[in-house]
Structure 1
């Protein structure tokens, strides 16, 4: 299982792909830590009518994005993306933003 420095609830910015520049909180992370779902980013899906959904048509569903295509938004400079590092303060391991040095809660 791959290790990820991003957690559910972190505000991230999409840095590649058709949704580049959009940002929002992470709502879901896959079990193998390779894909994430970001709130507000959706794709169109064409669905045939079925017994469960008799309407069918074009539906908006939450998109999953590869984790390498998102970056954490710096908590100090709200518009810029940053990388995540770890530091130990008072015996506790904390995540921090590499650009501003601010601790990520």
Structure 2
């Protein structure tokens, strides 16, 4: 089984480019390389019904982020105010991620 490649890392600022949440921006909270999904802050919010537990004795309805497909988000560059792909370049013997449009280090 081949290792799945992910263009995104935790903490990246992304913009949703497809789906119901199109146009919204947020930071990546979690990445799931095996399924090709990411959880983006304050995007794709769902309501989950929780039973009372020791940590949450009240129980009730919890609002939380749900994973969305990584193909529906793109890296957002605040400097250019535009979306761009991350690419890898070798600089000073190190392999680093850079913004394809501006060349800025990520």
Give me the TM-score of the superposition, normalised by structure 2.
0.81
Give me the TM-score of the superposition, normalised by structure 1.
0.82
Q: How many residues align?
A: 101
Q: Shift of residue 31 of structure 1?
A: 4.3
Alignment of 1:13-92 (within 5 A): 13-32=15-34, 34-45=36-47, 47=49, 50-52=51-53, 56-57=60-61, 59-77=62-80, 79-92=81-94
Q: CA offsets per residue over residues 48-87 of structure 1, 9 Å max, x none?
A: x745476545x4221211000000012521x311011111
**Runs of 4+ deviating beyond 3 Å:** 49-57
8 Å Cα contact 1:74/1:99 also seen in 2: no
Point out where structure 1 has 5 or more consecutive residues left out of the alignment: none
Aligned Cα root-mean-square deviation (Å): 2.0
Q: Distance in 2 between matches of 1:36 and 1:12?
A: 10
Q: Shift of residue 44 of structure 1?
A: 3.0
Point out where structure 2 has 5 or more consecutive residues left out of the alignment: none
Q: Shift of residue 41 of structure 1?
A: 1.5
